[in-house]
Amino acid sequence: MRRAAAVLVVSVLCVLPARTQEAALMFEQANQLYRSNDYQKAAALYEQVLKNGYEGTALYYNLGNAYFKLQNIPAAILNYERAHRLSPHDDDVSYNLRLANLRIVDRIEPVPELFIISWWRAFVNFFSSTGWATFSIAALWCVAAGTAVLMTSRWLLLQRIALFAAMVAFVLSIAGFTATYQRLRVERDTQTAILFAASVSVKSAPDEQSTDLFVLHEGVKVEYLDSVGDWRKIRLLDGKVGWIHSGAAQVI
């Protein structure tokens, strides 16, 4: 059985492009280094895979784990957030992200949102953008099939069933394409970031001489609202707003 599995792995690697093979081998080497407790080298190798243009939930998750072991909490949170963006329903990613957030200094409670907004966000996150696109196309095929039955069938009952099914499928396709668009925006979002500075004074304006509003510490998640030169206007989950240097945070 083991020999057959080995042959299968070799066969798969042979048909993959050379760069993909290299990335897969580097990823496995990084995993071995992690299992050997060499977290520094594992993290460096995971980062190299990312620099080569590859990404994925497992890659970000494992990199987050390596940084967590190295006590680099901001980097761990950053990569857990990236993994969570790709796979919002992955229990391991969600658990480790919560665990890492318990290690940061600031406790920021999000502003309560309307039920309908929470429901829509959960709906959009149910599938990836690819999953929603597939769902929407399948729904359109159902519309076409229902329309074909409606146009060709002579049975009144079957026509009514086909009409109802086509209408439902059409509504689902519209909802699916809307969710696809929203999910793509989430996956390509460049307006949220993780604070990497050990501590930073949030300013009232994009000016070093402006008033200090409050202090934030590493690991906090912020949303970018605006930019002026090297300054970024940020908003926290609790609604607080201020300005920080752009170099103080890394985009998720």
Residues 9 and 86 in one domain: yes
* Residue 8 reports pLDDT greater than 70: no
pLDDT in tens, 135-188: 999 999 999 999 999 889 888 888 899 999 999 999 999 999 999 999 888 888
Residues 163 and 213 in one domain: no
In angstroms, what is the C-alpha Rg of the chain?
A: 24
Residues 141 and 54 in one domain: no
Report if residue 229 sits inside a domain: yes
Q: For residue 4, name the pLDDT band (cuts at 50, 70, 90).
A: very low
- The number of distinct structural domains making up the chain is 3
CA distances from 3 to 6, 10, 118, 146, 159 (A): 5, 11, 49, 50, 57
* Residue 109 reports pLDDT greater than 90: no
Residue pair 127/183 in contact (Cβ under 8 Å)? The answer is yes
Residues 200 and 178 in one domain: no
Report if residue 119 sits inside a domain: no
Residues 82 and 7 in one domain: yes
Residues 158 and 216 in one domain: no
Residues 206 and 225 in one domain: yes
Would you state the pLDDT for residue 37?
Answer: 96
* Residue 19 reports pLDDT greater than 70: no
Q: For residue 17, name the pLDDT band (cuts at 50, 70, 90).
A: low
By residue count, the chain amounts to 252
Ramachandran bin of 37, using left for φ above 0, alpha for ψ from -120 to 50, beta for the remaining angles: left
User: Comparing C-alpha atoms, which of 169, 176, 124 is closest to residue 142?
Assistant: 169
Would you state the pLDDT for residue 122?
Answer: 87
CATH number for the domain spanning 9: value is 1.25.40.10
Residues 81 and 18 in one domain: yes
Report if residue 109 sits inside a domain: no
Domain end marker among 169, 187, 205: 187
Would you state the pLDDT for residue 3?
Answer: 38
CATH number for the domain spanning 232: value is 2.30.30.40
Report if residue 83 sits inside a domain: yes
User: Comparing C-alpha atoms, which of 222, 219, 218, 227 is closest to residue 240?
Assistant: 222
Report if residue 25 sits inside a domain: yes
**CA 187, chain centre distance (Å):** 6
Would you state the pLDDT for residue 125?
Answer: 86
Residue pair 195/222 in contact (Cβ under 8 Å)? The answer is yes
Residues 201 and 167 in one domain: no
pLDDT in tens, 194-224: 999 999 999 999 999 999 999 999 999 999 9
pLDDT in tens, 78-91: 999 999 999 988 99
Residue pair 104/219 in contact (Cβ under 8 Å)? The answer is yes
For the record, the structure tokens of 146 come out as 């229902």
Q: Percent of the chain beyond pLDDT 90?
A: 69
Report helix angle 73-86 to 156-187, nearest 10: 160
Report the mean per-residue pLDDT for the chain.
Answer: 89
Residues 230 and 144 in one domain: no
Q: Mean of the pLDDT values across residues 31-55? A: 95
Residues 13 and 90 in one domain: yes
Would you state the pLDDT for residue 169?
Answer: 95
User: Comparing C-alpha atoms, which of 26, 12, 35 is closest to residue 54?
Assistant: 26
Domain end marker among 137, 171, 187: 187
Q: Which letter does DSSP use for residue 247 in this model? A: G
Domain residues for 229?
192-251
Would you state the pLDDT for residue 251?
Answer: 93
Would you state the pLDDT for residue 18?
Answer: 59
Gap between the Cα atoms of 94 and 125, Å rounded: 13
Q: Mean of the pLDDT values across residues 30-47? A: 96
Would you state the pLDDT for residue 183?
Answer: 87
Report if residue 107 sits inside a domain: no
Report if residue 112 sits inside a domain: no
Gap between the Cα atoms of 223 and 191, Å rounded: 6
